[in-house]
């Protein structure tokens, strides 16, 4: 019997040239948004100085830039984590995003308390974070809105620049071969190694590049198996590879004769003439 198969491979979303281009655009967007976070921090610091002109200029900058630095640092991993959470589906994903915000808010508060204390101390001053419940609610509320806005920007970038999942590319299977038992061994013959086949009692005689090979199979079964490989039955006792046919000559009875490229002449029956319709004869 013949051997051969088709197989479907796997291909991940966002892989290849399109995936690299999308990642490059996202990284550029992350850099722009981080720049905007610091620009906002600068504007907010200046606004504080305008409202409190007697305050040392460095203090509001430390307060605002420490917060901006935290969100700029987590922006890229936040987008990556959000992308994975979105695979859960919208209800579960929304709940997971809210749950993710809680440790991030806590991390932001701890970051502010630590970095501001260190920077104030370096400037010869002292900073004490307000751990009151009201202050924590105030910080948490702002942080939740900021985090959700950043997650929304990441989702928008994915919709705009990440290519949709592509269909898995077919992976070529092994080339087709006809398995023929020859004594104690098995030959695997490619289609183009066989020119024609003829009935020989309980066997079929295959004319191949390697000589004549006997194959124990019926002509009907062999014709059915070889048809997808470009073979056509021209007689109840003969089968040819169409690509090996050099010419077809019609005979008065309606039968015909087939001449192969190697000079072999085979009889054809009018019953099977349509199999070689491309040869006018």
Written as six digits, the tokens of 231 are 């073979």
Mean pLDDT over 167-182 rounds to 81
- What is the token pair recorded at 201? 């009692």
pLDDT, tens digit (0-9, with 9 covering 90-100), for 179-203? 998 778 888 999 999 999 999 988 9
Q: Note whether 239 and 232 are within 8 A (CB).
A: yes
Going along the chain from its start, the domains and CATH numbers come out as 8-161 (no CATH), 177-276 (2.40.50.1020)
The residues near 35 (Cβ < 8 Å, ≥ 6 apart) are none
Kindly state the percentage of the chain with pLDDT values over 70.
89
Helix/strand/coil for 216: coil
The pLDDT of residue 12 is 39
Distance CA 177, CA 187 (A): 9
Tell me the residue ranges of DSSP E strands in the chain. Answer: 2-3, 7-8, 170-171, 177-182, 185-189, 194-200, 203-208, 211-215, 231-235, 238-241, 245-250, 256-260, 265-268
Q: What is the DSSP string of 101-118?
A: HHHHHHHHHHHHHHHHHH
Over residues 162-188, the mean pLDDT reads 79
N-to-C CA span, the chain: 33
What is the pLDDT averaged over residues 34-49?
A: 91
Task: List the strands of the sheet with 211-215, edge to edge.
Answer: 211-215, 203-208, 194-200, 238-241, 231-235
Which tens digit of pLDDT belongs to each residue from 208-247?
988 899 999 999 999 999 999 999 999 999 999 999 999 9
**Is residue 2 very low, low, confident or very high in pLDDT (cuts 50, 70, 90)?**
low
The structure tokens listed for 274 are 């349509």
Alpha-carbon span 166 to 8, nearest angstrom? 13
Question: Considering the entire predicted model, what is its pTM?
Answer: 0.52
Q: Is the pLDDT of residue 251 over 90?
A: no
Question: Which SS3 state, helix, strand or coil, does residue 192 take?
Answer: helix
DSSP 162: S
What pLDDT, in 10s, does the model give residues 52-72? 888 888 999 999 999 999 999
Q: What is the DSSP letter of 270?
A: G
Give 11's pLDDT tier (boundaries 50, 70, 90).
Answer: very low
């Amino acid at each position: 019997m013949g051997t051969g198969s088709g197989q479907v491979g796997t291909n991940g979303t966002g892989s290849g040239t399109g995936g690299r281009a999308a990642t490059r655009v996202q990284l550029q967007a992350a850099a722009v948004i981080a720049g905007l976070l610091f620009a906002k921090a600068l504007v907010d610091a200046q606004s504080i100085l305008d409202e409190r002109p007697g305050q040392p200029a460095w203090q509001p900058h430390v307060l605002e830039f420490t917060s901006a630095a935290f969100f700029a640092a987590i922006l890229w991993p936040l987008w990556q984590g959000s992308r994975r959470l979105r695979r859960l589906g919208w209800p579960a994903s929304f709940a997971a995003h809210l749950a993710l915000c809680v440790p991030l808010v806590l991390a932001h508060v701890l970051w502010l308390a630590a970095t501001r204390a260190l920077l104030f101390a370096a400037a010869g001053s002292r900073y004490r974070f307000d751990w009151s419940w009201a202050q924590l609610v105030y910080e948490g509320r702002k942080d939740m809105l900021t985090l959700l806005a950043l997650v929304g920007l990441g989702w928008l970038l994915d919709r705009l620049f990440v290519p949709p999942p592509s269909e898995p590319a077919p992976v070529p299977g092994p080339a087709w071969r006809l398995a023929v038992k020859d004594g104690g061994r098995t030959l695997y013959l490619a289609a183009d190694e066989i020119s024609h086949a003829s009935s020989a009692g309980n066997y079929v005689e295959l004319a191949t590049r390697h000589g004549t090979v006997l194959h124990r199979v019926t002509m009907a079964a062999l014709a059915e198996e070889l048809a997808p490989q470009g073979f056509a039955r021209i007689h109840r006792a003969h089968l040819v590879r169409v690509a090996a046919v050099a010419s077809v000559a019609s005979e008065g009875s309606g039968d015909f004769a087939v001449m192969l490229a190697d000079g072999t002449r085979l009889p054809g029956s009018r019953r099977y003439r349509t199999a070689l319709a491309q040869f006018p004869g």
